Structure 1
C-alpha cells in the first residue's frame, strides 16, 4: 500500500464518481479504477459498491475513509512541521549578551550551534541588559544573556551562574601594591565604570562595594562595554571594579586583578531569558546548550 492509494480513495469517496475523481487527480479513469481495486485486494474488503449509475461507500469504506483522513492529515501536519524546522535551522537566530560574559564560552557555543545547524546564521548583539529586554519584547532578539533581576512576566528565564566582583588595575600599578588594597588610595583614585543608565544593576553593585570600603568613588570615565573598561585600565588611565568573569577576557593578561575581601557576598545573577511565546523552534535546544556551557 502506498500513499497514493489513500489519496485516490479519499478523493473518490468525496466525489462518489470515477470521472470527477479522476479529473481532480489529473489522471484517467482506468488507472484510478486499477488503484482502487489494488487497495481493496490488499485490504481484502470491498470499500465501494459501483454500477453504471452510482458509486457508494460500504460500511467498511466509510470507516476506512475516516482512517484515511486522519492519516493524510497527520502526514500533512508532519510535512508542515518539518518545513518549519528546516526554515528555523536555515534561518537567523538573534542572540544578545552583556559584554562581561566569557568570550571563550561564547565562541564554544557558536561552534556547537554550527555543528548542529550548519545552515543557521547566529547574529550576535553585545549590549546592556535593559536594551536586550526591549529588543526581546520587540522581537528583534530571540534570546538574551543578561544580568538579573528582571521583573517581566512574559519572559522565561533561567539562572546561569553567580558573578562576584574584583578590583582591576594595570600590571604596573599592581606590582607596586603587593596585592594589598591598603596600599591603594581608593579615595583619590580615578575610577572607570559603566554608565549608570546603561548598566544600572552593575552601577548599584559598584557603589555598594565602594560604600563597604568607606569611600565615594571618583568616576572619571564611563563606558558601555567591559572591553573598553579593561583597555583603559590596562593603559593605566584608572582602576575599576569589574565582574569576576572579566578575568577570562582576552585582555586580562595586561591587567592585575585583586579580590575585595569585604565584598565577597556582593554578587549578581547572570541569566538567560526569552519571550515565553517566542515561536522559534530552536529556542529550547540553544538554551540548553547555553545552560550547559555557562552554568
Structure 2
C-alpha cells in the first residue's frame, strides 16, 4: 500500500464519482479504477459499491475514509512540526545540571530560551556529573552543566567558570571567623557528597582537608548540595561547598569561610554532543557564558 492509493481513495470517496475524481487528480479514469481495485485487494475488503449509475461507500469504506482522513490530518501536523524543528522553533530541549549550581541562573536561562524559542518544550533535570555524561552520550539530554573533568569522545566540553571552596558551618555551634582557624575543625563531624555519586569532587574535598592538616570524619553523606547545607544548619556537622553556593546563600544561621590559601578549584563546564550546532544550544551556551558571576 502506497500513499497514492490513499489519496486516490479519498478523492473517490469525496466525489463518489470515478470520472470527477480522476479529473480532480489529473489522471484518466482507468488507472484510477485499477488503483482502487489494488487497494481493495490488498486490504481484503470492498470499499465501494459501484454500478453504471452510482458509487457509494460500503460500511468498511466509511470506516476506512474516517481513519484515512485522520491519518492525513496527523501527517500534516507531523510535517509542520518537523519543519519547525528544522527551524529550531519546536520540539523538546533537555537541560541537566548539578545541584551545586545556583538555581537563579537556571531559572533565568529557561526564561531566556522560552522567549527566544516559544514553541520549544524545555525540560530540566538535576542529576550528577557522571549520570549527565551517560545521558548525553545516549542522546537523552541536549545540554549538561557539570563539574569537570569529562572524558568522552562523544562530548564537547566548554569551561563556564572556575569555582573555589568555602567551609559552611552553623554559627551557633561553631565559633570560627577566619581561614586560619580551619585546622581547629579536625575533631568536628563532616557532611560530604557520596564518593560513588561524585568521585572527583569527593577527592578534592579530601585534598582540601589535608591542606589544613587533618582527615575529615565524614559521618553523614548526601547527593544534593542543598541537603548538605540543610544538614549543616540542623547541627549534624560542617561541610565544604563550592563558593558559588556561599555567595548565593543569605541564611543568617549559616556561616561561610572561603578557602583562599589553597590553590584548588573546581571547573564548572557546559557539555553538549559533538557536532551539535543547533541554534537553541548556541543560544543557551552564549547566555550562560555571559551571565554575571556573583
Q: Structure 1: how far apart are the matches of 2:261 and 2:167? A: 12
Secondary structure of 1:215's aligned partner:
coil
2:270 matched to 1:272?
yes
- Which residue of the partner structure matches residue 241 of structure 1? 240
**Deviation for aligned residue 1:165:** 0.5
Alpha carbons of structure 1 residues 217 and 292: separation in structure 2 relative to 1, 3 Å: same
Q: Structure 1: how far apart are the matches of 2:236 and 2:250? A: 15
Alpha carbons of structure 1 residues 80 and 111: separation in structure 2 relative to 1, 3 Å: closer
Which residue of 276, 280, 283 corresponds with 1:282? 280
Secondary structure of 1:231's aligned partner:
helix
TM norm structure 2: 0.68
Q: Structure 2: how far apart are the matches of 1:183 and 1:157? A: 34
- Which residue of the partner structure matches residue 68 of structure 2? none
**Deviation for aligned residue 1:250:** 5.0
- Which residue of the partner structure matches residue 198 of structure 1? 197
Unmatched segments (≥5 aa) in structure 1: 1-21, 29-78
- Which residue of the partner structure matches residue 225 of structure 1? 224
CA contact (8 A) 2:113 2:280 kept: no
CA contact (8 A) 2:85 2:91 kept: no
Q: Structure 2: how far apart are the matches of 1:180 and 1:137? A: 41
Q: Structure 2: how far apart are the matches of 1:112 and 1:288? A: 11
CA contact (8 A) 1:161 1:294 kept: no
Alpha carbons of structure 1 residues 187 and 281: separation in structure 2 relative to 1, 3 Å: same
2:124 matched to 1:116?
no
Secondary structure of 2:112's aligned partner:
helix
- Which residue of the partner structure matches residue 185 of structure 1? 184
CA contact (8 A) 1:103 1:249 kept: no
Moved over 6 A (4+): 22-25, 79-82
Q: Structure 2: how far apart are the matches of 1:118 and 1:260? A: 43
Q: Structure 2: how far apart are the matches of 1:122 and 1:284? A: 15
Equivalent residue runs for 1:20-169 within 5 Å: 26=26, 83-85=83-85, 88-169=88-169
1:68-95 Cα distance to aligned partner (Å, 9 max, x none): xxxxxxxxxxx99981436743322110
CA RMSD of aligned residues (A): 2.8
CA contact (8 A) 2:88 2:117 kept: no
Count matched residues: 222
